[in-house]
Amino acid sequence: MGVSVVEPCIDDVRRIGESCSNWGRWGTDDELGTLNLITPESVRAGAATVELGEVISLGLPYNSAGPQTGGFGRFNPIHMMIRDGNDALAGTTPRDFYKGRDAYIRSADDIIIMPLQCGTQWDALSHIMYDGTMYNGIPASEISSLGARKSDITVAQDKMTGRGVLLDIARWRGVDSLEPGFVIGRAELEGCAAAQGTEVRAGDFVLVRTGQVGEVRRRGAWEDYAGGDAPGLGLSAPEWLHEHDVAGVATDTWGMEVLPNETKDVFQPLHIILIVYMGLWVGEIFDLEGLGTRCAEIGRREFLFSAPPLPITYAVGSPVNPQVVL
């Protein structure tokens, strides 16, 4: 007879969440979560890694060719001009915009319509609720049709800078991209860090490369990137992240955690554990391809990391153009 395997379930999610909980750690009114771990010392530690002065962006372009396919209510950005060069040539740009100062200067202006989490982005701690509450026991009722009155994205506007480390799981495994459904757990995080000689410290931002954005480029289409099967963090990862007191974790996948999820009875269980219980800041859809290549070339995977969100009042997420300085 074969040995029966008990599949993880919501009880395991609760158990892991409670073992990693940061509720009350920084006070009963705390809305920052793990960003409390960002200190002047951790920022200086990030700055101390800079040797080359090279800047690498981790953000994907925000345009109509982005990763969203309409699932989960998300679509790609809609960009429109409200004044353009043809208006200037035709003389149709409103003159009173320039207060009648001269007849020469004209301008172009534009607008964009987009879900705040359609591209490279941070989840605010108000993004996920479980059992009627969000991080630190704040009631879900604090998020109304007007937005999040507690734990909105603006609390992070001056906190997203410090020491960053890349855990290049795909390169460590010797592949261009991890297979969909590949689980990145404690063993993989520890093994990759050890093989790279990378020390993960309190207050670090940990970037986990699966190679999935590179795979999209090789095949020339996003296909099911948004919400489809993907490599990602598994249920044994949160305790490792908690033990290392990381300030934030970001990946190059749509949803950060492995899909299909390890739990059959709950969707995106790590979002519950990391965001609701731990108050850990999660970044998704980061482009880690250029960074992975350059870090391999120089043999170093620590850097100054900066990725402040747009300070959009009451928002539960924000687009971002993360940058590292090597």
Among 77, 11, 24, smallest CA distance to 273 is for 11
Is 5 inside a domain boundary? no
- Domain tally, the chain: 2
Is 209 inside a domain boundary? yes
CB atoms closer than 10 angstroms to residue 41:
11
Is 1 inside a domain boundary? no
**One domain for residues 36 and 92:** no
In angstroms, the CA 109 to CA 229 distance is: 39
At residue 7, does pLDDT exceed 70? yes
Handedness of CA 106, 107, 108, 113 (dihedral sign): negative
Residue 90's pLDDT is: 84
Residue 53's pLDDT is: 98
**One domain for residues 301 and 187:** yes
**One domain for residues 140 and 66:** yes
At residue 283, does pLDDT exceed 60? yes
Indicate the range of 30-39, 68-77, 130-139 predicted with least confidence.
68-77
Residue 5's pLDDT is: 66
Quote the mean pLDDT of the chain.
95
**One domain for residues 178 and 52:** yes
Is 2 inside a domain boundary? no
Is 4 inside a domain boundary? no
**One domain for residues 29 and 89:** no
For residue 98, name the pLDDT band (cuts at 50, 70, 90).
low
At residue 154, does pLDDT exceed 70? yes
Residue 102's pLDDT is: 62
In angstroms, the CA 35 to CA 156 distance is: 8
**One domain for residues 182 and 271:** yes
For residue 88, name the pLDDT band (cuts at 50, 70, 90).
confident
Residue 182's pLDDT is: 98
At residue 240, does pLDDT exceed 90? yes
Residue 3's pLDDT is: 58
**One domain for residues 82 and 162:** no
**One domain for residues 175 and 241:** yes
**One domain for residues 254 and 108:** no
Is 3 inside a domain boundary? no
Is 147 inside a domain boundary? yes
In angstroms, the CA 124 to CA 152 distance is: 6
Tell me the per-residue pLDDT of 19-47, one tens digit each, with 9 for 90 and over. Answer: 999 999 999 999 999 999 999 999 999 99
**One domain for residues 38 and 89:** no
Indicate the range of 89-98, 164-173, 186-195, 272-281 predicted with least confidence.
89-98
Tell whether pTM > 0.75.
Answer: yes
Between residues 157 and 104, which one has the greater pLDDT?
157
Tokens representing residue 112 in the block: 């964009």
Q: Which domain holds residue 41?
A: 10-71+115-325
Tell me the per-residue pLDDT of 295-321, one tens digit each, with 9 for 90 and over. Answer: 999 999 999 999 999 999 999 999 999
**One domain for residues 27 and 85:** no
Is 154 inside a domain boundary? yes
CB atoms closer than 10 angstroms to residue 301:
25
**One domain for residues 82 and 230:** no
Instruction: Supply the DSSP symbol for 139.
Output: B
Instruction: State the CATH number of the domain containing residue 290.
Output: 3.50.30.50
Tokens representing residue 300 in the block: 């170093």
